[in-house]
Structures are given as structure tokens and as C-alpha cells.
Amino acid sequence: MDASGSQDANKAYYDAFSTRYETHRGTNDPGGYHELLDELESGFVMRFGRNKDVLEVGCGTGLVLQRIRGFASSAVGIDLSPGMLQLARSRGLEVTEGSALSLPFPDASFDVTCSFKVLAHIPEIEVALAEMARVTRPGGYVLAEFYNPWSFRGLLKRFGPARATSDRAHEGQVFLRFDSPARARELAPPGCHLETARGVRIVTPSAYLMRVPGLRSILRGLELRLCDSPARDFAGFWIAAYKKA
């Protein structure tokens, strides 16, 4: 599938997904699995983006971007899906429709450019990473989240059944790639080098376990404790922090 075909498929998939995207997210599941992920992802952005200009590529409905807005000087989002962006705009967020493969911003516009759960659905990942680096200022950071094949989540996604995401869509309808931490190091965009990383969903084999009250607190504590440890290389989501020269 060429770039335009992949983008059209992704757009249709996420427009359909937007109708159910927050069923178990945000205020619909406080303290749950997705809120933990949002906390770990936005917390990593805070390390580099406090009082800075931040762009989130693939902001979806704005759950992470809303957290970023709380500590950044400015927080801007871009997404391919009008359905997702409609929810983001209802939160009063500054968002625009566009593609990760051709970001509609001038060079060196942001101090931090981040992307979560998006790059894994882009065949031309090198192009997307290069675009993120292009709009990042010298000395700034590109934070890129990869789907790790060497994890509980990676095994379930690769060998388990495709999950329905709406009445009209399921996970098998969207392109999906897995890039190991070693591969993510090789994918450092031009002019950038890997400085550090964070792991998200290290010990949680299934999101459903976070709905069990006793297990929720145990898994949450372990995830928070291990996210920046060497165990991060076994996380389902591996976030690279590339620094731009």
C-alpha cells in the first residue's frame, strides 16, 4: 500500500474508532489502564517540555495533549482524523488536521515534538521521524513511541485475535508495525541521537487486569517504578528520546 492509501485507511479507521475511543479512557475510567499510560507518556514529555513549546503528532482526542497543556508554554496537536479532532477541540485544545508525513509547520517551530501510538501505524516511519525532527529546534527533543515486539503486549497483538474498535472497524484494518528497542535506536532521525528512553506497560499482560481493584494498584505501582529502569526494554510501548543537535 502506498503512502496515500495507508493514510486514507488510517483516517477511515480512526474516524470510526472515535465513536468508542474514550469508552474506557479519561473520565470514563479514572485510575485505569489508559489513564496510567497517559500519565507515563505525558510525564516523560514534562521532563523535556516544561515551559517549552510542544507539538503532539497524532494527538487523537487530546487526552495526552490536555495534560501537556498543563505544563508547557504552548501545546499544539495534529491528527489525520476529523472525528478524533472534534473531541480534541471540545476540550479547547489547539489542534489541526494533517499528516505526520508532511507536518504543516515551519522548520524549528517547537522545543519538543512527541508522538504516541501513531508511528506503529505508519509504513513510512523514517519520513515521519524526519518530519518530527525538522520542526524541532536545535537542542530540542523528538519523543517517539514504538510498539515493542519483545513484550507481553507485542505477543498478544501479533498472535491474538484482532479486537473490534467500533461497529464498523477492527484492529486488523489498520497497518501495524513492531520495532524493537534496538531497531528504534537505528531509526534515530537525521541530526538526532538517542539520549534516553522510557518503557510503558512492562508487567501488565492485559489491559483488562487493570479493571480488577486489587491488581490495579499492584500493577500501577510496578509500572511507575520500572518505567525508567533497564526493564523498560521489555515494555509494550518503548518511548525514545532523541536529542537534536
pLDDT band at 117 (very low <50, low <70, confident <90, very high): very high
Exposure letters 191-204 (e unless 16+ CB within 10 A, then b): ebebeebbbbbbbb
Structural domain range at position 99 = 3-244
CA torsion sign for 100, 103, 108, 111 is negative
| pLDDT above 70: residue 21 | no
| pLDDT above 70: residue 9 | no
Phi-psi region of 136 (alpha: psi -120 to 50; beta: other; left: phi over 0): beta
pLDDT tens figures, 166-180: 455 445 567 889 999
pLDDT tens figures, 29-87: 667 888 999 999 999 999 999 999 999 999 999 999 999 999 999 999 999 989 889 99
At residue 181, the 3 state secondary structure works out as helix
The domain that holds 233 is classified in CATH as: 3.40.50.150
| pLDDT above 50: residue 110 | yes
User: How far apart (Å, rounded) are the C-alpha atoms in residues 42 and 56?
Assistant: 10
More confident residue, 6 or 59: 59
User: How far apart (Å, rounded) are the C-alpha atoms in residues 8 and 23?
Assistant: 24
pLDDT band at 244 (very low <50, low <70, confident <90, very high): very high
User: How far apart (Å, rounded) are the C-alpha atoms in residues 197 and 47?
Assistant: 12
More confident residue, 155 or 3: 155
The cell numbers describing 44, all together, are 516523560
Range in 48-62, 106-120, 124-138, 198-212 with the lowest mean pLDDT: 198-212
Segment 115-133 shows an average pLDDT of 96
- Which residue from 41, 245, 6 is spatially nearest to 125, judged by alpha carbons? 6
pLDDT tens figures, 198-235: 999 999 988 888 888 889 999 999 999 999 999 999 99
More confident residue, 19 or 209: 209
User: What pLDDT sits at residue 171?
Assistant: 52
* Domain total of the chain: 1
Alpha helices in the chain (DSSP H): 3-17, 33-49, 63-69, 82-90, 125-134, 152-159, 181-186, 213-226
Q: Which residues contact 244 (CB under 8 A, 6 or more apart)?
A: 133, 136, 137, 138, 139, 140, 141, 142, 191, 192
